[in-house]
Structure 1
Amino acid sequence: MSDTGILIIVHGSSNPQWVREVDEAVKGVKGDLPLEVGHLEFSKHETLEHGIRKLEGKGVKVILAVPLFVSSASTHISEIKYVLGLISAPGVETDLRPVSSSARFVWVDPMDAHPLILEIIIERIFSLSEGPEEEVLLLAAHGSDEPDFHQKWEKLLEEIKHLISLRIPFHDIIHGTLLPDNLRQKAEQVSNSGRTVIVVPLFLSEGYFTNKVIPEKLKGLSYKWNGKTYLPHPLITSWINEKIKNGISSERQKRVVDKDPITFETWFL
């Protein structure tokens, strides 16, 4: 039996559609390794600790932690690493506490500007764009008020904008965030330019922010919007599979160096 398991970590939501879309993405994950989903919030029975305990019950000694999050700049990422014992302090206030476990955690990074994620963003853009040379693209992101996390968000958004500009010749590409709350201000700056404004949300799945918060903030302005998020999209499952494959490969190499037993069975082989 393999001693390695997978913990897919999600924020969670009270919106059933959000949960269904995440579950559908996880169903397509390849391989025979034990896999559990842990919710950071909104679930009493599928918390991070529940997922960890289920994997431990299956004899797992190494847990590959895969955060299904848009950005490494999210404060939740810091909280998750704290819960898993990967960092000594979360960097933000949290009610969460570290989970003691006999398993060793192996971390992989969130989505950020991964090529597969960029393909989803490009697809969402093309579902709205008709003539990019005369259009302004506004990327709407969550962001953060915390200085360190804010800088990381800004760096990521600048990277995504640059990568998009290499593919699509927009007149301009800008971004706005909910934290700090500057999305409407950014939209107002271009809404009277005479050019079509396209707004694309950088969020995992449709929910409270895309269905209510962003439309309310942009109320009364002229822009194109369909609210399509990263999910549902098959490339999210592809991203999970790639992250797991790379994580397993790195772990295998580490075990070779450390001369530990390798018991990955047929995962991706």
Structure 2
Amino acid sequence: MKPGLLVISHGSREAGWVALVDESIEAARAHLGSQLLIEAAFLELVEGRLIQDGIDRLEAAGVTHLFALPLFVSSGSTHVDEIGWALGAYPKSRTETELEPIRISAALTYGKPMDDDQEIVDVILDRMKKLSIHPAKESILLIGHGSKEEGFQEAWEQGFDSIGEQLLRLGGYNAYSSALLQLEEVPERWESLMSGHPMNEIIVVPLFLSEGYFTKQIIPRKLEGLRCRYNGCTLMPHPKIADWIVRKTLEWLKDLGIH
């Protein structure tokens, strides 16, 4: 038995985006040790480092048991579903996909994305400290990409609700709401927070893996004219992302009987 880890994220044409993923992978590798073979792969846009490329390299190195970990924010992402189908982890894709089935010989375990895991909540709390002055007099508006697809939208909302409960409990904030860009919810949710807690300051946090088009252009555009604090800080770079990868991988290795 020779285990291997394949961390899968979306990918970007921006070299800096890819570099942030690689930095998190290298930090995880430092904890997991050189005996475990690790590859970072991307759904699209990164030539020579797509999912099939990563699997081929791991299997060429002798990997017999593979843990494919989706480095995505939510189980509501349609990409998580289509990747699972392409890997053979799911019998069918619940949405239309242009992916083709991926060749794989190793025994596969397909992991779960970040959702409301503690490490992610910790990152968000850390990001909010840069904007927060008096938590008890502040409201939180968490913004994510979201999905209009049935079942996927609900998964986004459930994850965000759980995160919100933890932010209120652990951070001492006064109120919470979330908005999904795909559903055009930002103005409505901002107004709801203002109406319910008019004396509060609103802190806006983007729940995105890395800075890019949505955090630099789309969200600021949605917030124009709305009184709030926003700095666009995303989940990466942060050491807790590597911690999440390490924990998920160690749990998988334990299930395999490898300690």
- Range of TM-score over shorter length: over 0.9
* 2:211 aligned residue (191, 206, 212): 206
Aligned mates of 1:177, 1:112 — CA distance in 2: 14
- Where has structure 1 moved over 6 Å in runs of 4 or more? none
1:171 aligns with 2:174: yes
The residue aligned with 1:187 is: 190
Q: Secondary structure at the match of 1:179?
A: helix
The residue aligned with 1:241 is: 246
Cα distance, 1:169 vs. partner? 2.9
1:133 aligns with 2:136: yes
The residue aligned with 2:100 is: 97
Aligned mates of 2:165, 2:226 — CA distance in 1: 26
Q: TM-score, normalised by structure 1?
A: 0.90
The residue aligned with 2:154 is: 151
The residue aligned with 1:255 is: none
The residue aligned with 1:116 is: 119
Aligned mates of 2:173, 2:36 — CA distance in 1: 44
Cα distance, 1:210 vs. partner? 0.6
Aligned mates of 1:189, 1:240 — CA distance in 2: 36
Residue identity in the other structure for 1:170? Y
1:121-162 Cα deviation digits (max 9, x unpaired): 111111111112222110111111001101111111111111
Aligned mates of 1:179, 1:89 — CA distance in 2: 24
Q: Secondary structure at the match of 1:143?
A: coil
1:251 aligns with 2:256: yes
Cα distance, 1:194 vs. partner? 4.3
Cα distance, 1:88 vs. partner? 1.9
The residue aligned with 1:258 is: none
Q: Secondary structure at the match of 2:69?
A: strand
* 1:216 aligned residue (218, 221, 246): 221
Aligned mates of 2:72, 2:232 — CA distance in 1: 18
Residue identity in the other structure for 1:224? R
1:185-241 Cα deviation digits (max 9, x unpaired): 212344573431110111111111111111111112111011111111011111111
Conserved? CA contact 2:168–2:174, under 8 Å: no
Residue identity in the other structure for 1:217? K
Aligned mates of 1:121, 1:160 — CA distance in 2: 9
Conserved? CA contact 1:196–1:223, under 8 Å: yes
Conserved? CA contact 1:7–1:66, under 8 Å: yes
Q: TM-score, normalised by structure 2?
A: 0.93
1:46 aligns with 2:45: no
Structure 2 gap segments, 5+ residues each: none
Conserved? CA contact 1:82–1:97, under 8 Å: no
